[in-house]
Amino acid sequence: MDISVVVPLYNEAESLPELAAWIERVMKENNFSYEVIFVDDGSTDDSWRVITDLAAHNKAINGVRFRRNYGKSPALNTGFARAKGRVVITMDADLQDSPDEIPELYRRITVDGMDLVSGWKRKRFDPLSKTIPTKLFNATARRVSGIKNLHDFNCGLKAYRADVVKRIEVYGDMHRYIPILAKNAGFTKIDEMEVHHQARKYGKSKFGMSRFVNGYLDLMTLWFTGKFGRKPMHFFGLLGSLMFLIGFIAVVLVGAMKLYHMHTGAPYRLVTDSPYFYLALTMMLLGTQLFLAGFIGELIVRNSAHRNDYEIAQEIN
């Protein structure tokens, strides 16, 4: 099979017939063998009934329905697990992503040899309250991840080589950072393609401003797990040792100053009367706790069943 199209959705009953017909037309015009996997993320409207009707008239259409709303990441992960195509394409169900982009996305994967191609909606039909935070969010993601050539990490329109979606796990709200997940898994041929952004035709956006706060927290999680996930002691142990050392030196200096004043006959006060003593003691305690956190992290990693799972690109026997 050439292409699997994974479409996560939540309360998009109005747009589904038009989207399914549009995808079908593009696939037939290009003679692609394909499947469409609609993942209903616990919709409360008639989305599942519409998907059932569409599947009855088109055997290329499949559907999965969650019992409740879990979020876009679980929906994508479920669709990825069921995808059979050599190229997997994701798009949103609100008709803001154009299926006419599919042939070029497919070519970029199969001919150009890309692992992942992400859409870039240079011209957007969103309000400033959404576009400005999005630009800041993407700039931060580029800086932290090192993927300098992507302008829109969260674009729903993406194409993947099948190996990519089978090797990554999309969880929580990590759908925003699938390119980073792919890079951490060893897939470095990541590029973008400018795509057309259409104004929403039906319904309203399901995402609020809270996604930007959660997005930055998830980005920090990905950065840490990608860099120190297999060696937590390198982070906590180093930071804890530095804090303990600074605190210890400060305690020695406080004690040495008292001894010096006693020796010279200058007035002095008790070590415990000095605020610097307590600051130094706090530094030593925090340093010890951080060091122990790294040590416990190493024990957890050491006993993990996946501690020696590595991405193997090729092998000769």
pLDDT of 197 > 80? The answer is no
Which candidate, 30, 10, 196, places its Cα nearest to that of 97? 196
Write down the domain spans for the chain: 3-228, 233-302
Which residue has 């709200």 as its token pair?
173
Mean pLDDT, range 131-141, rounded to an integer? 78
Q: Which percentage of the chain shows pLDDT scores above 90?
A: 52
Structure pTM?
A: 0.75
- Is 3.90.550.10 the CATH number for 3-228? yes
**Chain mean pLDDT for the chain:** 86
Q: Output b/e per residue, 150-189; b: 16+ Cβ within 10 A.
A: bbbbbbbbbbbbbbbbebbebeebbbbbbbbbbbbbebeb
Which of 184-193, 204-213, 247-256 comes out lowest in average pLDDT? Answer: 204-213
Give 140-168 pLDDT, tens digit per residue.
888 888 898 898 888 899 999 999 999 99
User: Which residues have a Cβ under 8 Å from the Cβ of 212 and sit 6 or more positions away?
Assistant: 133, 137
